[in-house]
Chains A and B, each alone.
Chain A
Amino acid sequence: MSTPELVTVTIDGRRAEVAKGTGLVETALQAGVEIPVFCYEPRLGPPIGACRMCLVEIEGMPKLQAGCTLTAQDGMAVRTAATSEKAAEGQNATLEFILVNHPLDCPVCDKGGECPLQDLTFRYGPGNTRMIFPKRTFEKPIPISPTIALDRERCILCYRCTRFSESVAGDGQLVARNRGAQSAIATFEDEPYRAPFSGNVIELCPVGALTSTQYRFEARPWEIQNVPTVCAMCPVGCNVSATTREGKVKRIVSRNHPEVDEGWLCDKGRFAHSHLRAEDRITEPLLRVRRRGFSPIGWDQALDEAERLLRGAGSRIVTALSGSETVEGAYGLARLLRGGLGAHSAVLPEEAGHALDAYRLPLSAIRDAELVVVVGDDPVSERAPIVDLWIRAAQRGGAELVTAGPSGTLLAAPGSAAQVCRDLAAPGSEVGRRLRESARAILIWSGQGGQGGAHLAALARALGFDGKEGCGAFHLPATPNGRGVAAAWAAASDEEAENPEPISLLIVSGDEAASDPNVRALAERAEAVLAITMFHALAVGWADLVLPATSYLERDGTTMNLEGRLQRLRRAVMPPAPDELAWLSQLAERFGIALPPYPALVFEELSPVAFGGLAFGEVGERAALPPRAEAAPLPPLESAPPPPTSDGHYLQLLRYRPLFSGAAVERVPELQFQRPPREVELSADDAERRRISSGDEVSVRSNGTSTALRARLDRRLAPGVVRIAEEHAGDLHALVEVVKA
């Protein structure tokens, strides 16, 4: 890249030297001068100059200019309200106009105390109003979705929300209705705003026009603490602040890590926190009595029971991990089981492998790419939502997106992602050629398949990504901390696992494992089950001893996201029961293992083995990405047998795990509308052949089981494939029949 031309701008008599084309607001900031703004937000695309808060006087221009729409030019002399009376007057008038119909609801407004309109009025606005007529009123609050309330009286029409919806998230559901003084923010046809990123408009709105229904009237800015932590709901690991009041998490707001999330969060991360207070939360250890009943027991007795189970089983233990544990929690478990009992057998959530570390890039690099290729069966937004936003940003910048999957631009059968990788690497492939030539190409694996990382690494190597700094590859795992858990489990011992037969004890760690059908199947074969879960419903009927689990907002430690970035989790609120590490350390003591109950000490112990001796304190507030690894020899690739394909009558079932699913989301009333409807997606071809149209009730059958679902046509879906969300697919087999009910 060529170095940009530097220009000198004078702002209020101070000189700033910036690259040509830098926005005036940033230029002023560099000179230490503030230009106040409402509508300006560079993350939303080009400035639109809607609010006129940023008026400045520019030498040589007769009228005041909207500073946010200008860029730095050489020799420009700018005077802001601080030195120019004209600009100050202009801003004062702007604010007076904005406030003409503003309700001044501050005492009942959730934005009060953290409201830019309040702050800027205080600093630049008129002290009192000349408006003596009755103000305009609207019906309020209008719930534009179960999570967002709209107050049109407070809206200052800055169009931040609609710009977000239209250009950043691309859902286009939030629009400005009518023109001029009649303009109003609305959803299209007054449908609920149902989109995975809708919650971001709450944070974007500079006034209290868009507020969270969950946080409504819950707390005031001076009554809260913000705990900097990271979201552990998906493998992106967005940086968030957990707002707590009186020992409860009240909301989640973004903490903007420019390399990870750029300040955006998905609605799952933003709103799912209320599952901490779910009704069926387990708060004390439970012991199975009789066949299905549970009785709460004290912790001493629980540890006795756990010890008895562990001693009885010896090394014939299998541990099913969720991939949502902290690195320290997983290591604690591994120390106890592997070190103390020699029980090395574990069901790890997913194997990410280290092969991709040689092609590591920050997520923000996707934005700068010119070609993005996504392989795999699942839509990116269901697996790692923020990655979807980065891809959209790349597309806005002119990048081309190629998706190779069952509903992609390159159609590929479900389960054939590994084959797609091989095809792309083959000399004849057109996309492969472009990937090879590009200096800024990104590969993304978004789908099941344990060896995704390795396949992708093989492809990246074949395409000559080694040594190209702008080219990288990402594997989107299914679990938030699968990589960290795998690393921690491996760090505790390097002995080989032998699968015990019969299984004496199955330890189920975490909710994802507890709701995994494969783990349930293992439990059938195990003599006893020890479950560590958060919710009653997940433990009932199959566990012999249940220990309460904690959520990511309730524990300290570290977690590793899909890039391989180690990030710090901080405890926002106290869990209702001691956290995992606390009782693990007591249990370990009974087996003669010294395991400290503090994450910092545990991390110190495992860091030299797993993370090259990184200190706990160095995992900073905005964690850095480790540098690319040396290209290592690739692990041997296994080819799984391809799944059975459609024969025209039977269709291939593609299950996917929607973003809004899982134990936490199920327990958040406000998020129910986001959960997948009971639908089966059909390709146009298959639907036509069966005379099914969108909206028809159909019955999906296979080998004796059948489910009634509503049909939806997806024109992009490959023929011969039907797609059903995991939670509605039940025990359907790989090939299904679809008939009109």
Chain B
Amino acid sequence: MSPQPFGSIKGFGVTFKQIFKKPITQQYPEYKRPLYPRFRGRHRLWRHEDGLEKCVGCSLCAAACPADCIRVVAAENTAEHRVSAGERYARIYEINLSRCIFCGYCELACPFDAITLGNEFELSEYSRDDLIYTKDMLLAPPIKRVPVADRELYDTPIPFYKTGS
């Protein structure tokens, strides 16, 4: 005899009770849960209003990065080829997103608010190489790859502490 003769029945009871409850499964990707506004997702590099890049290629983000996944190679602006506002610009700017831990330190380190972390988290790829984001990719707005059922809800997330769900 087992020490708890009715143990299995008790267990099945718990299971059966769930049948009558509303499921909490969410049908991702058809439905997307709202995100916190400060959710840290894919990075974005920014430009000034006049089109010049904000990034000056100072590598401070690379210094702050605990995962060592940012690579910056700087070069000098010239009168004919002006990319950023200062003396130098990032000739190469790469983030290896397969290594990134989305800690946001790069954003904190940047003296020019040139890099921020956005809300994009759907970043899966078939190859690791595709996860190395180049400067062009980071300067462009993120591509939405997965169809979203409720666009509005997704784009202006309502935090759940407000909706109470």
Contacts and interface: CB of A to CB of B under 8 A. Distances in A.
Given A107-B58, A112-B58, A220 B76 contact: no
A105 B56 CA distance: 11
Interface in A76-129: 105-108, 112-113
Interface residues of B, number: 15
A222 B74 CA distance: 14
A34 to B, nearest CB: 25
A222 B63 contact: yes
B59 A223 contact: yes
A216 B76 contact: yes
Q: Contact residue range for chain A?
A: 10 to 19
Contacts of A223: 59, 62
Interface string B51-94: 00000111110110000000000111000000000111000000
Contacts of A216: 76
B141 interface: no
Interface in A230-266: none
Interface string A51-80: 000000000000000000000000000000
Contact of A108 (B62, B63, B87): B87
A108 B72 CA distance: 13
A107 B111 contact: yes
A217 interface: yes
A107 B112 contact: yes
Contacts of A107: 56, 58, 60, 86, 111-112
Chain A at the B interface: SS class: loop
A217 B75 contact: yes
Contacts of B112: 107
B60 to A, nearest CB: 6
The CB with the most chain B CB atoms within 10 A, among A108, A112, A216, A222, is that of: A108
Nearest to A220: B59
A141 B76 CA distance: 11
A696 B139 CA distance: 59
Nearest to B60: A107
Nearest to A245: B73
The CB with the most chain A CB atoms within 10 A, among B58, B111, B112, is that of: B58
B56 A222 contact: no
B95 to A, nearest CB: 15
A159 B164 CA distance: 67
A302 to B, nearest CB: 34
Nearest to B55: A107
A496 B56 CA distance: 65
Given A107-B86, A108-B87, A222-B59, A217 B111 contact: no
Q: What are the 9 A-B residue pairs with the smallest beta carbon separation, nearest first?
A: A107-B58, A217-B74, A220-B59, A217-B88, A108-B86, A222-B63, A108-B87, A108-B88, A107-B111
Given A107-B58, A217-B87, A223-B62, 5 more contacts: A107-B112, A108-B58, A112-B58, A217-B88, A218-B74
28 contacts: A105-B87, A106-B58, A106-B111, A107-B56, A107-B60, A107-B86, A107-B111, A107-B112, A108-B56, A108-B86, A108-B87, A112-B58, A141-B87, A216-B76, A217-B57, A217-B74, A217-B76, A217-B87, A217-B88, A218-B74, A220-B58, A220-B59, A220-B62, A220-B63, A222-B62, A222-B63, A223-B59, A223-B62
